Amino acid sequence: MLGRVPYQPTYAAMQDFTAARNSETPDRLWICEHPPVFTLGLASRAAHLLDTGDIAVVATNRGGQVTYHGPGQVVAYPLLDLKQRGYFVKEYVYRLEEAVIRTLLAFGITGHRVAGAPGIYVRLDDPRSHAVLAQGPKSTTPDFTGLGKIAALGIKVSRHCTYHGVALNVAMDLSPFSRIDPCGYPSLQTVDLSTIGVSVSWQEAADVLGQKLVTYLSP
């Protein structure tokens, strides 16, 4: 657990760790919280930054679009050697999402995947419902009707090694999300555990997410 740390030095440290590691370097899992910051993925477009105001904007080399990090959000950075772990990027993404889904389930919430839109979503009308989404897993156009995004995912893989990761919204000021098109989708609603009726501390959520990541990212 790194606690609350500035984004840019943490990003630089991930890059340095990954560049310096070799086949003998142990994997790491960094869990932290960041002061307010908008981060841009490689696919980001300026049009998705609506009103950044006094919040810093940092361009990164992760996949995906623009997102927001801030207090009350658990950010997890798995620094893994996928070659040593024995699985590829597509499975890595699935395992990351599964860890978030299992974390939500520990708090009585059902998380959902949306085809073509990495991350985890919840039903706004009934976050505890296990009903399968109408949208099938092979849909080509994401349908966010009735959904809120509770966890964002953005990764980078270099020489089989991962960095960046996943962010789970716990109890945060969600208003900065209205100043961007989250993950490049206009009007995509963002939620946290607090707004869907789950009162849990940052530390408790971080502990559970950390445990689930260790389990579901195991070789």
**Catalytic residue, candidates 32, 99, 183, 217:** 183
103 in Cβ contact with 150 (< 8 Å): no
Q: Give per-residue burial for 120-138: e unless 16+ CB within 10 Å, then b.
A: bbbbeeebeeeeebebeee
- 183 is a catalytic site residue: yes
In the 3-class helix/strand/coil scheme, how is 129-151 assigned residue by residue?
A: CCCCCCCCCCCCCCCCCCEEEEE
Which of these, 168, 195, 189, lies nearest to 104 by C-alpha position?
168
73 in Cβ contact with 34 (< 8 Å): yes
Residue 215 to residue 194: CA distance in whole angstroms: 25
69 in Cβ contact with 75 (< 8 Å): yes
Residues designated as active site: 183
